[in-house]
Structure 1
Amino acid sequence: MKKPTTAKEYIQQVPNEHRKDFIEFHELICASAPDAVSCISYGMPALKQHGIVVYYANWEKHMAIYPMPSAMKAFASSLNSYVTSKSTIQFPHGKRIPKKLIRDIVAFRVEENNIKYKLKKKR
């Protein structure tokens, strides 16, 4: 299978049984950071705005968002019902996507990147 170079190509490679849910996931993440640019990094879709905002991907049994450890820490109390790791949140296929949580996490990461960018720009 050809490595995707765009989010659209990545989505086309998602198995049919998961594609509709992944498109919803993708659109939610992108709408949560309207000024961010979509790209492929480490073989998965990502959003960039003054650096990577989040990565996200489809897997056999779940979809995942990779929002960086700082966001994992900030939202720890909201993540108890999900499988997580240091920088990953898994959402099982066939389950409702927690839209508000995802919007909040993406907004947090956008703001975090904006702050870092402004501080860097001042130097």
Structure 2
Amino acid sequence: MATAFATVDEYIASFSGEIGERLRRIRQITREVVPQSGERISYAMPTVTLGGQDLLFYSGWKRHVGLYPVPSGDEALARDLGSYRSGKGTLQFRLDQPFPDDLVRRVVAALASERTGSI
């Protein structure tokens, strides 16, 4: 049975090493790109909210961190995300590869733009 976390802090603190670092990095990037965002636990994982609605989810796994959903409508971004796609709405950032900070920034900005019409 999966552990139930009350806060994003608890969730991230449950991971050590590279996984914890990458989760903290995703959190930091979302706060920088969308400073008005909130956060909560939903579906047992950290969830970034915007205007009271879920914007994106992220999670830690044994060999990667995941980010969901994948933004649509930007062909250049879609091409750049190609090797990170795992399923229709999932991005996986493997631990044996460098973490793509700039790409994650673009994903967060694109999702926020889809939601609000601008960022």
Give the whole-Å Cα distance in 2 for the aligned partners of 1:19 and 1:47.
17
In structure 1, distance between residues paired with 2:86 and 2:109? 19
The alpha carbon displacement at 1:17 in A equals: 5.1
- What residue in structure 1 maps to residue 105 of structure 2? 103
- 1 CA distance for matches of 2:84 and 2:106? 16
How much identity, in percent, do the aligned residues show? 27
Post-superposition Cα deviations, 1:78-103, rounded to whole Å, max 9, x if no partner, equal: 11222421111000114221111111
1:60 to 59, 62, 66: 62
Structure-1-length-normalised TM-score = 0.79
1:17-56 superposed matches below 5 A:
18-50=19-51, 51-56=53-58
Give the 3 Å change call, closer, same or farther, for CA 17–101 of structure 1 in structure 2.
closer
CA gap 1:80/1:2 in 2 versus in 1, 3 angstroms: closer
TM-score of the superposed pair, with normalisation by structure 2: 0.81
Q: How many residues align?
A: 113
Residue ranges of structure 2 left out of the alignment (5+ in a row):
none
Moved over 6 A (4+): none
Segments of 5+ residues of structure 1 without an aligned counterpart are 116-123
Q: Which has the higher helix share?
A: 1
